Structures are given as structure tokens and as C-alpha cells.
């Protein structure tokens, strides 16, 4: 007798690399460039602890109670005001919903938009967490090649015209996994191609605060107010363990999104929302972000220099303007899976490109994370990686 009659959708769920990369990253002696972690040493533990103590003392009964699905209004007002100040977007608290990290947005957006067989667009390579989240709803994932200047616009236009995807998911700022940032003309062209098309632009802005030069880039949503949703997160700039993100979206989208979220979890962790708002109210977030971005920029430049100096001929890489990642493209005949396996044996973990390519690909690409290793570990880790790559050429 069969007891476990799982839903058909589970057949379409790709094997997750996320658990594997966290496992290998924690092995003793391994220097990990595989994960997507911010540097824990840069998290303001003392400031968050003070905020938590003040909340428990001043409003603990309220903060420990159930709340509304859309989230703590003062926190949503803070996010909206920051959008208005930094990016010139006419955002209000009622346009924002708090979620369990921006990762939850992926699941809920797919849940409210995608039927089995629907087309959904995304970059190639694309964020593996999005591929995994979308795949559960059995769409056809249609990809557009990503180059140094963003998506291939001819392919993007053809996809919108020929397949009319429900939405196109993209990361214009410091894309994961490539680190590429779309230039402004690409953002405007995407808005032009989508305007009136019926395809929504789903703009994941998890890294938009982390530009090394400190200059914000205007989101696609600024040029396509009613045709784009914008998700953000405090995970990369405050603390990922709090699991606080948000979505900024037009009212018809938020209405459906709210209903799906209420059915999923009633509301995100309310205590963390209140603590986070208290922390933000007493903290110069701009100064904190500048410091984090400066340190990540230094680490990125160190890693790029070592790739250029130590890895063998035939290796290429991206050049991030911000964020936490870059991609390395291996010489012909060198497998990213071999580099992954041999790297762990030699004490350095990287993430192979395969899970970032929906429908296959990525055999000759690896993603490197530079945010969660200090300069000493970057130097030693890249020496180990260089030996592994040379041994596979």
C-alpha cells in the first residue's frame, strides 16, 4: 500500500543545491565562496540587542501578539519614505507588504500568477532560488541571455511578443549569480517593451543598496509604475536571520498577494518587524550601508585581481559594481561540477553554474561569493581554487 501520494508538482521540483552549499560551507577547514551570506561580523548585534530590549520593555505585549497580514505599518512607512528619498518613487505604506524575506515573494508571486504550462520569463543565468520556487507551479520557464549590459534586448522583445509571459523576473542591480548591473538605457528599454504588453516585470532588488560607489540606480519600476512589482530585503543590509523583506506593488497585485500570504502564514514574524523598526529609527542606516558596501567592494576587487593573476589562461569573469557575487567562466573542457567536487577536497567551496541555468547549461561557469570571507581567506581560498582549476585544465 502506498501511503505517500505526493502531488504531481513535486516531480517538477528541481533538486536543491542550497542545502548542499550550506553543508559544504560549514565543513571544518573549508574556505567557502559558495554561499550567499553577508558577513556576520558586519551585523550590528549590539544595536539590534538594544532595540529588542527596548521593544520588550516598552511594547512587549503588542509585539508578541498576532497582527495583520500586510505587516507593521510604521515599518512599511519607513520603507516607503526610503523609496521616496533614495529613488524618487512615489511609494506609500499601503503599497507595501512585509514578507518572510524576499524569497517568500518568489513563491507567492508564482502562486497568484502561474498556472501549469504558463510562460514565465527570467534571465539566463538566473537566480536558482527563483528557478526552484517557480518550478513547483509547473510553468514553462523561458530564458533570455544576460550579457554585460543586461538582457539581450532582441531576445527579450521576441519573448514578450511571441510568448506573452505572465511576468518576467529580473535582478537589475548586482544580479545573482553574475553580479551584472543593467545600465539605465537597458532599464528604460525594458519598460518600453513591456508597457501595454500584459507582461509584468518582477524586479528583485535584494542587492540595490550595496553599490560600491554608493550611488543608487533607478529601478525599472520608476519607468513602469503600474507594470512592475519591486521586492526588497533587510537580509543583506541588517540581518538575514530576521527574515524581513517586502514587496512594493500596484493595488490589484497586492490584493491577491495578501490573500495568498494570509493562507500561507497569516503574517510574517511580528516581533522581528517591531524590533527592526525600532532599530532603524535609532540607527543611521545610510552610514551602515556605506561601510558594508565599502568593505564588500574591497573584497570584490581583491578577488577579481587574484582571478586575473592566478587562474590559468582562458578564464573570464564578470566585473560587479556592487552586491555579493561574481561569475567565473572556465576554459573549454573544464567542468564546473568537477571544480566543485575537487574544490571541496582541497578546502575551497564554489557553486557550480548548473543550477542557475533553467533547462540545462552552466557546465563551464562557477559563482563566487566575496562578501562572507575576509581578505586573508580570499587570498588563501583563491590560491586553492587556482590549483584546482590548473589541475583540471
pLDDT digits (tens, 9 = 90+) for 66-110: 999 999 999 999 999 999 999 999 999 999 999 999 999 999 999
Q: How confident is the model at residue 327 (pLDDT cuts 50, 70, 90)?
A: very high
Give the C-alpha separation, 31 to 327, whole Å.
17
Q: Which residues of 221-254 are buried (b: 16+ CB within 10 A; e: fewer)?
A: bbbbeebbbbbbbbbbbbbbebbbbbbbbeeebb
CATH number assigned to the domain covering 15-44+286-392 = 3.90.1150.10
- Which pLDDT belongs to residue 25? 62
- Which pLDDT belongs to residue 17? 67
- Which pLDDT belongs to residue 13? 75
Q: What is the mean pLDDT of residues 324-331?
A: 97
The cell numbers describing 88, all together, are: 524618487
Provide the sign of the torsion angle of the four alpha carbons 336, 337, 338, 340, taken in this order: positive
Read off the pLDDT of residues 252-262 as tens digits, 9 standing for 90 and up: 999 999 999 99
150, 184 contact by CB (below 8 A) = no
Cβ burial of 57 (10 Å; 0-12, 13-18, 19+) is exposed
The cell numbers describing 40, all together, are: 556576520
What top-level class would CATH report for the domain 46-281?
Answer: alpha beta
Q: Report phi then psi at 289, rounded to 5.
A: -65, -40
Q: Is the pLDDT of residue 20 over 90?
A: no
Cβ burial of 115 (10 Å; 0-12, 13-18, 19+) is exposed
Q: Is the pLDDT of residue 21 over 70?
A: no
Q: Mean pLDDT of all residues in the chain?
A: 95
Q: How confident is the model at residue 26 (pLDDT cuts 50, 70, 90)?
A: low
- The full set of domain ranges for the chain reads 15-44+286-392, 46-281
Phi-psi region at 29: left, alpha or beta (left = phi > 0; alpha = psi -120 to 50): left
The CA R_g of the chain, rounded to the nearest whole Å, is 21
- Which pLDDT belongs to residue 35? 87
Largest Cα–Cα distance of the chain, in whole Å?
A: 62
The torsion of the CA quartet 260, 262, 264, 269, rounded to 10 degrees, works out to 130
Can you give the length of the chain in residues? 393
Q: Is the pLDDT of residue 325 over 80?
A: yes
Q: Is the pLDDT of residue 43 over 70?
A: yes
Q: Which residues of 72-105 are buried (b: 16+ CB within 10 A; e: fewer)?
A: bbebbbbbbebbeeebebebebebbbbbbbbbbb
Cβ burial of 56 (10 Å; 0-12, 13-18, 19+) is middle
Q: What is the mean pLDDT of residues 363-391?
A: 96
Cβ burial of 213 (10 Å; 0-12, 13-18, 19+) is exposed
Q: 3-state class of 38 per DSSP?
A: coil
- Which pLDDT belongs to residue 27? 72
Q: DSSP states of 198-265 as a string?
A: SPEEEEE-TTTT-BTT-PPPPPHHHH-TTSEEEEEESTTTT-GGG-EEEEE--HHHHHHHHHHHHHHH
DSSP class of residue 266? S
Q: What is the mean pLDDT of residues 141-160?
A: 97
Q: Which residue has the cell 551584472?
A: 180
The cell numbers describing 290, all together, are: 556605506
Read off the pLDDT of residues 181-225 as tens digits, 9 standing for 90 and up: 999 999 999 999 999 999 999 999 999 999 999 999 999 999 999
Q: How confident is the model at residue 3 (pLDDT cuts 50, 70, 90)?
A: confident
Q: Is the pLDDT of residue 119 over 70?
A: yes
143, 119 contact by CB (below 8 A) = no
Q: Is the pLDDT of residue 1 over 70?
A: no
Q: What is the mean pLDDT of residues 13-36?
A: 76
- Which pLDDT belongs to residue 163? 97
Q: Which residue has the cell 560551507?
A: 25
Q: Is the pLDDT of residue 326 over 60?
A: yes
Q: Is the pLDDT of residue 22 over 70?
A: no
Amino acid at each position: 500500500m502506498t501511503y505517500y501520494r505526493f502531488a504531481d508538482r513535486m516531480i517538477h521540483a528541481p533538486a536543491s543545491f542550497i542545502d548542499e552549499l550550506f553543508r559544504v560551507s560549514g565543513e571544518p577547514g573549508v574556505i567557502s565562496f559558495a554561499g550567499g551570506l553577508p558577513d556576520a561580523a558586519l551585523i550590528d548585534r549590539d544595536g539590534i540587542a538594544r532595540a529588542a530590549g527596548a521593544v520588550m520593555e516598552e511594547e512587549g505585549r503588542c509585539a508578541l501578539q498576532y497582527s495583520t497580514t500586510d505587516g507593521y505599518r510604521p515599518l512599511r512607512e519607513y520603507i516607503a519614505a526610503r523609496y521616496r528619498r533614495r529613488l524618487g518613487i512615489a511609494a506609500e505604506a499601503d503599497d507595501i507588504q512585509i514578507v518572510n524575506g524576499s524569497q517568500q515573494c518568489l513563491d507567492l508571486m508564482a502562486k497568484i500568477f502561474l498556472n501549469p504550462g504558463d510562460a514565465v520569463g527570467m534571465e539566463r543565468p538566473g537566480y536558482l532560488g527563483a528557478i526552484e520556487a517557480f518550478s513547483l507551479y509547473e510553468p514553462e520557464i523561458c530564458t533570455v541571455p544576460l550579457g554585460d549590459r543586461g538582457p539581450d534586448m532582441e531576445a527579450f522583445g521576441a519573448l514578450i511578443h511571441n510568448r506573452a509571459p505572465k511576468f518576467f523576473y529580473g535582478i537589475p542591480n548586482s544580479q545573482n549569480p553574475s553580479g551584472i548591473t543593467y545600465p539605465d538605457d537597458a532599464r528604460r528599454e525594458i519598460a518600453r517593451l513591456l508597457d501595454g504588453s500584459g507582461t509584468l516585470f518582477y524586479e528583485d532588488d535584494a542587492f540595490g543598496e550595496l553599490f560600491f560607489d554608493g550611488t543608487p540606480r533607478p529601478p525599472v519600476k520608476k519607468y513602469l509604475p503600474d507594470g512592475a512589482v519591486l521586492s526588497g530585503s533587510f537580509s543583506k543590509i541588517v540581518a538575514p536571520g530576521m527574515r524581513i523583506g517586502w514587496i512594493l506593488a500596484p493595488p490589484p497585485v497586492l490584493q491577491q498577494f495578501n490573500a495568498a500570504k494570509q493562507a500561507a502564514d497569516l503574517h510574517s514574524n511580528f516581533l522581528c518587524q517591531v524590533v527592526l523598526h525600532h532599530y532603524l529609527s535609532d540607527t543611521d542606516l545610510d552610514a551602515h550601508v556605506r561601510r558594508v558596501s565599502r568593505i564588500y567592494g574591497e573584497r570584490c576587487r581583491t578577488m577579481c585581481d587574484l582571478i586575473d593573476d592566478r587562474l590559468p589562461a582562458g578564464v573570464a569573469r564578470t566585473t560587479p559594481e556592487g552586491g555579493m557575487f561574481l561569475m567565473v567562466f572556465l576554459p573549454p573542457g573544464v567542468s564546473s561540477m568537477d571544480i566543485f567536487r575537487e574544490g571541496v577536497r582541497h578546502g575551497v567551496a564554489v557553486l557550480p553554474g548548473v543550477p542557475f541555468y533553467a533547462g540545462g547549461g552552466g557546465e563551464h561557469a562557477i559563482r563566487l561569493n566575496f562578501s562572507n570571507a575576509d581578505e586573508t581567506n580570499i587570498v588563501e581560498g583563491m590560491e586553492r581554487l587556482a590549483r584546482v582549476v590548473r589541475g583540471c585544465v
